[in-house]
Amino acid sequence: MVKTDTIAAIATGMSNAGISIVRISGNNAFDIIDRIYQSKSGKKILSKENSHTLHYGYLIDEDQMIDEVMVAIMKAPSTYTREDTVEINCHGGIVVTRKILETVLKYGARIAEPGEFTKRAFLNGRIDLSRAEAVCDIIHAKNELALKNSLNQLRGKVFELIQMLREKILRDIAFIEAALDDPEHISLEGFDSELMLHLEEEYREIDRLIQESKNGKIIKEGIRTVIVGKPNAGKSSLLNSLVGEDRAIVTDIAGTTRDTLEETINLNGIILNIIDTAGIRDTDDIIEKMGVDKALRILSEADLIIFVLDSSTDMDENDSSILDMLRDRKAILLLNKSDLDAKITIDDIKSKTEHPIISTSIKENSGIDQLQSVIKDMFFGGELSFNEDIYITNERHREAFVDSLESIKQVMNSVRAGMPEDFYSIDLMNAYESLGSIIGENVEEDLVNMIFKEFCMGK
């Protein structure tokens, strides 16, 4: 899988800016820069300069100056890719940046694939696969919590945890294999009890990571939030209030919202992927009915449901029907239009549901702070920060942990059933390998290629 040819790409965004960077990595990186770089005082051979130094000069192509640049040179193996690396810092115009890249390609490099610099860092052993995936997560982080979690992963927190678990498993495998090979000198008597203690400890740790991965997914992707309610209850007004602008049409005409409207907002660190839906009610209007049916489908997939009720009108069968749909779901009831004379009170609703109820007036922007507080309690136990805790946000990692947990469970069952010790080794090795796949051991080339295709160019 390791490639040694020389690659190049634009490492900064393609827009007019103060500066752009063209990155080169590979065996011929210095040969290329030596042919196209010229110092202000004349020719300078950058390949003979010290590593990790910065040089001011010009980029040229056949005596034609392209741009005034600063060139950083970094010699293997002390580089991101563990290959000779050059970074050309040029003016940030789109035309000049592309011209420099074209020149680098002309003199022997090829255009890098998405994520190929990080892929080479992984293949050359500088970082494990979990750290490589963290690089992509940092780039796409939607909030500070997601960024902190990805930085913890980049610092090797997941790698260290995996290594610790695998070392424990490997010690037990080694002892079992040694005892089976040399039963005269190594006895397995009483080992079952010791092994069970090890397995229970490993089981608890992996199970905790799997359970907390639900919060990890929410930290990374946000809470899939659906706003439901009857027409004119204030659903679209709530969306507009949370977004901070008029994204949804708001009128006094019932049934204005016929289709879903989606927005992503950062509510003081909480990412809500909000979907405003058509008002749920019985209707003979074919188009409105299609909107209602779609709302009901989306409701079934939501992480959080915000049910908006109009407190100035009496409850009817439509409201009761929605309440029934919220059973065993994470939901919040907003008793809206508290600025008007109330026909429904919190006490009226309490007898019908166990979900949190908040009195709001979206028109006067009251109750939104309480909504935020309730969401924190629901998904983060009231806390919206963590120290050095590891949250599994990657679905590939979660599946590998699930596989390893299943293998550990099989060993525990074998111990309880009094099975021969060689049965233990097989399932322990499966757990060991499942954990190893997270950090990139014995993974298929197709999987590696698929992971790095998700990266941006130049990274």
Residue 135, in any domain of the structure: no
Q: What angle do CA 265, 450, 303 make, to 5 degrees?
A: 30
Residues 56 and 147 occupy one common structural domain: no
* 458 found inside a domain: no
- Whether 190 and 258 map to the same domain: the answer is yes
Mean pLDDT of 215-239: 80
Q: Alpha carbon of 278 to those of 236, 425, 438: distances in Å?
A: 9, 56, 42
User: What was the pLDDT predicted at 258?
Assistant: 40
- Three-state secondary-structure class, residue 285: coil
Give 188-194 contacts, CB < 8 A, sequence gap 24+: 188/421, 191/421, 192/415
In this prediction, residues 78-97 reach a mean pLDDT of 94
Same domain assignment for residues 244 and 373: yes
* In a domain? residue 459: no
pLDDT digits (tens, 9 = 90+) for 201-210: 999 999 999 9
Distance, in Å, from the CA atom of 391 to the CA atom of 299, rounded to the nearest integer, reads: 26
Pair 267, 221 in one domain: yes
Q: Within this chain, do residues 287 and 161 fall inside the same structural domain, yes or no?
A: yes
| Pair 226, 106 in one domain | no
Q: Residue 396: which of 137, 200, 40 has the closest Cα?
A: 137
Q: Provide the CATH number for the domain around residue 54.
A: 3.30.1360.120
Q: Does residue 200 fall inside a structural domain? A: yes
- What pLDDT, on a 0 to 100 scale, did the predictor assign at position 363? 79
Residues 340 and 424 in one domain: yes
Number of domains in the chain: 2
> Is 446 part of any domain?
no
Residue 447 in any domain: the answer is no
Domain of residue 217 covers 142-439
pLDDT above 60: residue 391? yes
What CA–CA distance (Å, rounded) separates 429 from 450?
Answer: 26
The pLDDT confidence band at residue 409, using thresholds 50, 70 and 90, is: very high
Contacts of residue 14, defined as CB under 8 A and 6 or more positions apart, other chains included, come to: 94, 97
Q: Are residues 181 and 124 in the same domain?
A: no
**Tokens coding 202:** 């490993």
Give the separation between CA 437 and CA 95, rounded to whole angstroms: 42
Has residue 157 got a pLDDT over 80?
A: yes
Q: Are residue 264 and residue 393 in the same domain, yes or no?
A: yes
The answer to whether residue 453 is domain-embedded is no
With CA atoms as reference, report the closest residue to 191 among 3, 405, 414, 351. 414
pTM: 0.74
The verdict on 59 and 192 lying in the same domain is no
How far does CA 288 lie from the centroid of its chain? 36
Q: Return the CATH number at 222.
A: 3.40.50.300
Percent pLDDT > 90 in the chain is 40
* Pair 163, 33 in one domain: no
**pLDDT over 90 at 51, yes or no:** yes
**DSSP helix/strand/coil, 342:** coil
The mean pLDDT value of the chain amounts to 84
**pLDDT beyond 60 at 167:** yes
**Of 73, 101, 128, the domain-final residue:** 128
Q: How confident is the model at residue 250 (pLDDT cuts 50, 70, 90)?
A: very low
What is residue 244's predicted lDDT score, i.e. its pLDDT? 65
Host H or E run for residue 415: helix 395-416
- Cβ atoms within 10 Å of 418's Cβ, excluding its own: 7
Q: How confident is the model at residue 459 (pLDDT cuts 50, 70, 90)?
A: confident
Regarding whether 98 and 13 lie in a shared domain, the answer is yes
Q: Which residue has the higher pLDDT, 385 or 64?
A: 64
Taking the CA atoms of the chain, what radius of gyration do you get in angstroms? 29
Helix (H) or strand (E) run with residue 59 in it: strand 53-61
